[in-house]
Amino acid sequence: MKTKKIELDVDFIGSQPSTLTKEEEQAISNYILTHKIKLLRTNSKVKVNA
């Protein structure tokens, strides 16, 4: 299957200073944890059904 390539005019610009707030740090950790739990639940369901 052919994958769709995204063609863009490229202009690489970032920003400084690059710092995360405590809330943002927490949000990232929460996302990772929630995602892990979801994956574990999905995997255990698959095992039970197998």
Partner 1 sequence: MKKYTNRGIDIEIDELTNSIKNVFSGDSFPTDITLITKSDINSITKKNDWLFDWKLELKYPERDVFKLTIVNNQSIIQGLISLEIKSDHVFMHLIESALFNKGKTKIYSGVPGNLVAFACKLSFQRGHEGNVAFISKTQLISHYEQSLGAVHFGNRLMIIDTNAALNLINKYFTNTI
Q: Would you tell me which residues interact with partner 1 (CB under 8 A)?
A: 5-18, 20, 24-25, 27-29, 31-33, 35
List C-alpha distances in Å: 35 to 22, 26, 29, 42: 20, 14, 10, 11
Contacts (Cβ under 8 Å, ≥6 apart) of 20: 28
Minimum distance of partner 1 from residue 33's CB (angstroms): 8
Minimum distance of partner 1 from residue 44's CB (angstroms): 17
Of the pair 33, 37, the CB lying nearest partner 1 is at: 33
Q: How far apart are the first and last CA of the chain?
A: 30
Minimum distance of partner 1 from residue 49's CB (angstroms): 21
